[in-house]
Amino acid sequence: MNTAVTIAVFVLVVALGVLISLLYRGIDRKLVAHMQGRVGPPVIQPFRDVQKLLMKESIIPDGAINWLFTAAPFVCLLTSALLLLYIPLFGQSALLGGFGDAILVIYLLLLPSLAFVLGGFASSSPYASVGAQREMVIMMSYELPLAVAIVTLAWRTGHVTDANPFMFATMAQYPIWSLVGPLGIVGSLVLLFTLLVVTPGEAAKVPFDAAEAKTEIAGGLVVEYSGRNLALFYVGDIIKAFAMAAVVVALFIPYNLSPLIGIGTPVAGAIVDGLFFLVKVFAVMFISISLVRTAMARFKISQASWIYIIAMTLIGLVGLILISFDLMVF
């Protein structure tokens, strides 16, 4: 019975993650359209897109590696869904929080991108191959500033507890803002900025969407995909964006609202905390994805790589230095 309940909870969390991710994508498209002076599609358009794709035939191009071409979308969706089990969601602890930490999440964030890359190479399309090469460059670029930010937070948390500082539960128990002085607050804000810039790269959104630039390489990675396979990639990509925003929330805004407003009932508190979590994730996605892609044009692949490897890594290291000085001074 316990196993059955656990599986049911896993399925429920993933299903909620998919539904909320699709809803956020619809809200994002509507807000961006209004900011650009357009009407835009209805908020439920992502649900319609998935429904339509699932009804269409999945075509495998001539010359493609059939098994890899077909397996890549499933791997993308499964690994994106797996992320939701290791990240604290809805104001609650991660379902598999005792079996993985922030380092594991860094690796899991790579897997959907790797699935895109493999699917692109397996399709035998020159456009997809170019997109796959670009995706690999972007993927290797944003991992360094992401790792710098997470390791810095864990290093500072490790000075106040013997618990595993890379666990999201430990970071929630010892939020970075309560551990640092003025210099550390500035350093933490710098690290938060770093992750906000990493988020559109992880989500493959403008200005870091060179791997699928439709005006240049006709969709790049997924140019040869259709039907169910394209739907799986579409949903996996949306879930990954939601998961990355949830990671930012878990690292920097791990607070619940119910204790602050004095809600003592467990059910009511869980509902309030869950809604508060959704607001926090929406704020992160709006700032790091919607606003950025409304205000900026696509970077060249060389520009995107330079921004992450050089600029954002150096900025992240500045945050690390400020937090280090804060620890020595305060």
Note the pLDDT tens digit of each residue in 159-194: 999 899 999 999 999 999 999 999 999 999 999 999
User: Domain limits of the chain?
Assistant: 2-329
Residue 60 clears pLDDT 70, i.e. is over it = yes
pLDDT of residue 319: 96
Residue 31 clears pLDDT 90, i.e. is over it = yes
SS3 195: helix
Of 205, 189, 224, the residue nearest 318 (C-alpha): 189
From CA 91, how far away is CA 250, in angstroms rounded?
A: 9
CB atoms within 10 A of CB 302: 10
Distance of CA 64 to the CA centre of its chain: 29
Q: Using alpha carbons, list the distances in angstroms from residue 260 to 112, 162, 170, 227, 276.
A: 37, 27, 20, 47, 12
**Which H/E stretch holds residue 242?**
helix 227-252
SS3 229: helix
Note the pLDDT tens digit of each residue in 90-149: 999 998 888 878 999 999 999 999 999 999 989 888 888 888 888 899 998 999 999 999
User: Where does residue 306 rank: exposed (0-12), middle (13-18), buried (19+ CB within 10 A)?
Assistant: middle
Phi, psi of 223, deg, nearest 5: -60, -30
